[in-house]
Amino acid sequence: MPAWLELVLRVAGVLVAFLTLPLIVGQTEHKVMAHMQGRLGPMYAGGFHGWAQLVADGLKFVQKEDVTPREADRAVFRLAPVVALVPYLLALLVIPLGPGDLVGQPLDIGLFFVLAVVGVGVVAVLMSAWASANKYSLLGGLRGAAQLLGYELPLVLAAASVAMAAGTLSLPGIVEAWEPWWLLWQAPAMVVFFVAGLAEIRRPPFDMPVADSELVFGYMTEYTGLRFAFFLLAEYVGIVVIAALTTVLFLGGWQGPFADAQLGWLWTLLKVFAVAFVIIWLRVAYPRLREDQLQRLCWLVLVPLSLGQLVLTAAVRVAM
């Protein structure tokens, strides 16, 4: 197969995943929250079990007027939703779905690349907050910047622990080095990474930047129509990316109970959706953290725990 054709097929596969997996997660969230909270609305659209709820939401966003505030910085205001989406698309390029060629672009420094591009999300938050010319948006953006910059540290430290254990920054290499006993040994790092990942994508209970009871809708207050839908899509893609990274780094990726490499992609998807379900469940089960609670959890719990895990990993690696 020509190199250019292989590249086109890989990019096309990543684009398909980028456009479908978040929608599946969004539809799942509608149904899971409806069952957990006794909601009737999401069960009606389209008839059977409300199968068309996501379609109805899409049509609603398309029909809404696209409004740009008069005092807004129009270029930055319109660009912010795109900047929110692009980092997650780039991250999906290097996350392996299965062994062999089931990855958009294998990189020897794949973990470093993913953590770098996911951190760009704070730029979109600040762009939308500043450009909106709205005090509630600005407050939400400042909260978001403080949260994302703080939780970036435990996220990176937890990822560094498993990279040190595997002896590589390659995501496929980490999966190949993974052993089942890592579920116990790297469990603290997994908890830290998962919690910090929730904060990075601003999912409840870490949604202070969009606290609707205080800030209307935070940095997204002035967005309507498709631009607002792009921010929501970025949130769901973020769920997929954090769930996929948790799967690849800590749950063995494509490794399953059977030594059948042909089903590796299936094990990866099952684990990703299991982690995504936990993310949805946390939204329903836990109240929003206050700003002081959020920062205290980061600096007094997650950072010391991730540093301790890093020391433990270094000691085990030296002993081995």
- Whether the per-residue pLDDT at 80 is higher than 80: the answer is yes
CB of 111 closer than 8 Å to CB of 174 = yes
Extract the tokens encoding 63.
Answer: 């029909």
Which whole-number Å values give the CA distances from 150 to 104, 228, 269, in the listed order?
30, 26, 30
- Whether the per-residue pLDDT at 92 is higher than 80: the answer is yes
Which three-class secondary structure state does DSSP give residue 109?
Answer: coil
- Whether the per-residue pLDDT at 168 is higher than 70: the answer is yes
CB of 111 closer than 8 Å to CB of 119 = no
Q: Containing domain of residue 53, as a range?
A: 3-319
CB of 78 closer than 8 Å to CB of 68 = yes
- pLDDT band of residue 146 (cuts 50, 70, 90) is confident
Q: Report the 10 Å Cβ neighbour count for 302.
A: 24
- pLDDT band of residue 193 (cuts 50, 70, 90) is very high
pLDDT at 1: 64
- Whether the per-residue pLDDT at 104 is higher than 80: the answer is no
Of the candidates 158, 166, 171, 174, the residue with the CA atom closest to the CA atom of residue 95: 171
Which parts of the chain fold into alpha helices (H)?
3-37, 53-63, 74-94, 110-118, 121-131, 135-166, 171-177, 182-185, 187-200, 212-215, 225-250, 264-285, 291-296, 303-319
pLDDT at 120: 86
Extract the tokens encoding 228.
Answer: 């607002």
DSSP 259: -
Q: At what angle do helices 3-37 and 53-63 cross, to 10 degrees?
A: 100
CA 26 to mean position of chain CA atoms: 13
pLDDT at 304: 94
- Whether the per-residue pLDDT at 148 is higher than 90: the answer is no
**In angstroms, rounded to a whole number, what is the distance separating the alpha carbons of residues 51 and 277?**
18
Per-residue pLDDT of 52-65, as tens digits, reads: 778 887 888 888 87
**In angstroms, rounded to a whole number, what is the distance separating the alpha carbons of residues 168 and 177?**
9
- Whether the per-residue pLDDT at 28 is higher than 90: the answer is no
Q: What mean pLDDT, rounded, does the chain reach? A: 86
Question: Radius of gyration (Cα) for the chain, nearest Å?
Answer: 20
Identify whether 205 is preceded by a cis peptide bond (ω within 30 of 0).
Answer: yes
Which whole-number Å values give the CA distances from 20 to 115, 127, 208, in the listed order?
23, 27, 28
Total number of domains constituting the chain: 1
- pLDDT band of residue 280 (cuts 50, 70, 90) is very high
Sequence-ordered list of residues with C-beta below 8 angstroms from that of 301, at least 6 positions apart, any chain: none
Average pLDDT over every residue of 225-253:
90
Sequence-ordered list of residues with C-beta below 8 angstroms from that of 187, at least 6 positions apart, any chain: none
CB of 176 closer than 8 Å to CB of 256 = no
Which three-class secondary structure state does DSSP give residue 104?
Answer: coil
Query: For residue 187, which amino acid is it?
Result: A
